[in-house]
Amino acid sequence: MNGASDSKENIAGAERPLAQADSPLIRVKDLFENGKSTVELKKRYMLKAIDEVWVRAIEDTIPSLDVIIRHPGVFLQEREDILPIEQTRRVTGRSIQHLSQHTDFIKEIRDDGTVMPTKLLNVFQDETMLTYENRFINTLLANLYGFVSRRYDMAAECGEDEKMTRLTLDQTFGDDETHGTMTLTIEYSEKPRPHEVIKNYIYSDDLWKRVERIYKIVTTYMDSDFSRQLGKNYVHPPIIRTNKLLKNVDFRQCLSLWEFLEQYENTGYETLIQENLETVGEDCLDELYRSLADQYLIFQKHIRNEFVPEMTLDSHLTDEIIHPEIKSELDPLQIRELDYRDVVPAGAPEPVTETGEEPAIEEAIRVALAADSIFTAEEADGEEESVFEKKKIAYRYRYSYLSRLIRAQNPTQDYYTEIKNELLAYSDVSSRISWNHELFAIKRRKLARINVKGKTIFLYLPLNPQDFPVSKYHHKDVSDVKKHEDLPFLLRVRSDRGVKYAKELIALVMQSRDILRLETPTYTDYHMAYATNEELAARTPPLVKILPGSEDLRENEIPVPEIPAAPAIPAIPYRYRYSFSANLIRAQSPLQDYYETLKNELLSYEKVRSTMSWNHESFRHGRGTLVRLKGRGKTLQVLLKLDPATVPEKYHVKSGKGDFSSVLRVRSARGVGYAKALIARVMTEAGIAQNEVPKQSYRMPFMTNEEMLALPTPLVKNVKAPAKK
């Protein structure tokens, strides 16, 4: 046994005394203690304190900005040019009026009264987005980008939040002949714990992530088609309060953000740096000196290639014969070794039941294994949680899909946001949220389903699980479950790598179904703030259901939380009856976009005029009505004089009543294309030619029921409610 190993044994066993008073370890340790030493233990905190006021103000406005940027308003801009008669394509009343005022453009007047001009006024109509409201939003985006990027960049330059601890020991030792110096530095850094209070500042990692999300969203908006088309067309303060800015809820929210940015003068963040010197305990110093003495001995051994004689350990031989016992197998396991009391901390109370019996651990394990075999993670629909009190169910929570997502928080909501934005980045894909899950589809074609269990996202896709390696995706085949027959591929997402795999598989699904990706998909933040079970149960509609448990609960047991009672429904003295125009006004985009496109298409045919009634709008040619438009909810109904039997199945035409036997429901851009094709067929059969399609705007600003009721010609009627039976 050498000196180095002996010193290590003395250090490892703190309870063992040193072998000899004059051992080399003791002599080196005494040499250190007689020298000069400096010990410093420093803790340093560096935190970014961000003002949550401006973060919350921008987060509240992002949904409204998203709606406006996705569906910007447009109007028709007229441009007048005087062109030679050879380049004139269309003569209007304004052209004739202009010619009568500028007779110098008349070349000749023939005997039959025909006027032959040399030039005519041409009026061109172009669709433009340069409305005052759009220029206001473009200016707001530019100001918002500068506001956020300055605070984001300056906060990022300060570095990440950090809590650092450093221990420094400088030791000088020696005698008249020798002199030595040793330095020990130990340093480690860590992030502060969430909600840790440091210098009256509560550290919150979520706040910095919210700032990063805002910066990412605003940057995406600046690179959108909306910003590129408007370019540098801005407005200058003061802002004109137009009717749309004051009455449209989205523009009103953006106007509030503008006023907030104008008044906000703070930097929005600050950096907190704090350094504290801690006291090093005597036990810590003693252990450090022991470790340094050990390292010093090893250093001397390797430098001199031998131990200094006065620092070698005493050694002696023994005549005692050693008889080792060699075992070829382990001893049998004793029952006592499985006693849970061997691992109970000293002083902890014995876990016994009210009757004094030990807990039935074996039975609890058996029940848990049986429950695990019955309940699978895929059957997370309608997840329940029971609250027990003395083996009785006090009440139960039944969680919806949204409530499970709200309770999961980050990073689960980060993964959900990335996956949902990826799915909606493809053309015509829509999502529908039910109590149990969220479905993504194009009409009736299912593309994906998302569910949440704990902190795991379950993504179901219409792929064959046998075509993909399990070793890479770790997926599961759930085709044997009836409700998953259409989407048999299950991918569990728990990390950033899972999100990457999800995006790869989604791209394969869309490619196999010839679904095109949008050129500039819009990124939307789908994070939801945390809420308690009672708050979720009180929402309308409730996201959590509180179900009562046993009826014979004693008074000293857990009380059932009060389930919010449904508000009493007052007697309805009247109800609103909406006209066709009122339905369009209430629906807004995209229904008004479809209506505007189809109306311009219909009016492009010769001698076709429109007549607006209470229930619909008719398009006539002479005395006959060829097409009729109706609106219901977010669907535009096109009624056509066509035999449904002669219309191909791809149009999904329904049978109507009377002369309009074909009904086409328009809910998307594809439906608008189908409507144009069928309108062209109706007009062709009637022998009506088509001219150039006008670009007239028929959009109507949003109005409340009371405003539509107060118009000179009301668009809404009050109808007396039927008597309750």
Q: How far apart are CA 247 and CA 375, in angstroms?
A: 52
* 114 and 147 both lie in a single domain: no
Q: How far apart are CA 162 and CA 278, in angstroms?
A: 18
Tens of pLDDT along 657-711? 777 888 999 988 888 999 999 999 999 888 899 988 888 888 888 888 888 888 8
Q: What is the DSSP letter of 555?
A: T
pLDDT of residue 7: 37
Q: How far apart are CA 644 and CA 678, in angstroms?
A: 11
Q: Report which of residues 197 and 49 the model is more confident about.
A: 49
Parent domain of 473: 410-529
pLDDT score of 401 more than 80: yes
pLDDT score of 4 more than 60: no
Tens of pLDDT along 227-269? 888 888 899 988 988 888 888 999 999 999 999 988 887 766 6
pLDDT score of 503 more than 70: yes
pLDDT of residue 463: 94
pLDDT score of 137 more than 80: yes
* 104 and 59 both lie in a single domain: no
Q: What is the mean pLDDT of residues 534-554?
A: 73
Token pair for residue 28? 């080196």
Q: Tell which residue, 594, 613, 612, 596, has the closest CA to residue 604.
A: 596
Range ranked top by mean pLDDT from 18-22, 339-343, 615-619: 615-619
pLDDT score of 412 more than 80: yes
Three-state SS at 651: helix
pLDDT of residue 263: 87
* 119 and 185 both lie in a single domain: no
Q: What is the DSSP letter of 426?
A: B
pLDDT of residue 306: 52
Measured between alpha carbons, how far is residue 212 from residues 152, 206, 497 in Å? 8, 10, 20
Last residue of a domain, one of 249, 274, 299: 274
Residue 538 counted as domain residue: no
pLDDT of residue 477: 92
Q: Report which of residues 371 and 475 the model is more confident about.
A: 475
Q: Say if residues 220 and 523 touch (Cβ distance below 8 Å).
A: yes
CA angle 6, 10, 14 (to 5 degrees): 165
pLDDT of residue 96: 86
Q: How far apart are CA 58 and CA 39, in angstroms?
A: 49
pLDDT of residue 378: 41
Q: Say if residues 621 and 608 touch (Cβ distance below 8 Å).
A: yes
pLDDT-wise least confident of 9-13, 191-195, 544-548, 566-570: 9-13
Q: Say if residues 82 and 122 touch (Cβ distance below 8 Å).
A: yes
Based on the structure, what is the number of domains in the chain?
4
Q: How far apart are CA 242 and CA 254, in angstroms?
A: 13
Q: Provide φ and ψ at 50, rounded to 5°.
A: -105, 135
pLDDT of residue 356: 47
Q: Say if residues 492 and 457 touch (Cβ distance below 8 Å).
A: yes
* 651 and 688 both lie in a single domain: yes
pLDDT of residue 361: 59
Beta bridge partners of 47: 272
Q: How far apart are CA 133 and CA 68, in angstroms?
A: 10
* 177 and 212 both lie in a single domain: yes
Residue 268 counted as domain residue: yes
Residue 292 counted as domain residue: no
Q: Which residues, in sequence order, are CB contacts of 443 under 8 Å at separation 6+?
A: none
* 221 and 81 both lie in a single domain: no
Tens of pLDDT along 261-304? 888 877 666 666 667 777 777 778 778 777 877 777 777 777 76
Q: What is the mean pLDDT of residues 171-180?
A: 74
Does residue 514 come out as left (phi exceeding 0), alpha (psi in the -120 to 50 range) or beta? Answer: left
CATH code (residue 644): 3.90.1150.200
* 88 and 188 both lie in a single domain: no
Q: How far apart are CA 373 and CA 384, in angstroms?
A: 17
pLDDT of residue 52: 80
Residue 299 counted as domain residue: no
pLDDT of residue 542: 87
Q: What is the mean pLDDT of residues 10-27?
A: 47
Asked, as a colleague might, if the bond just before 411 is cis with ω within 30 of 0, I would say yes
pLDDT of residue 284: 81
Q: What is the mean pLDDT of residues 320-330?
A: 68
CATH code (residue 488): 3.90.1150
Residue 634 counted as domain residue: yes
Mean pLDDT of all residues belonging to the chain? 78
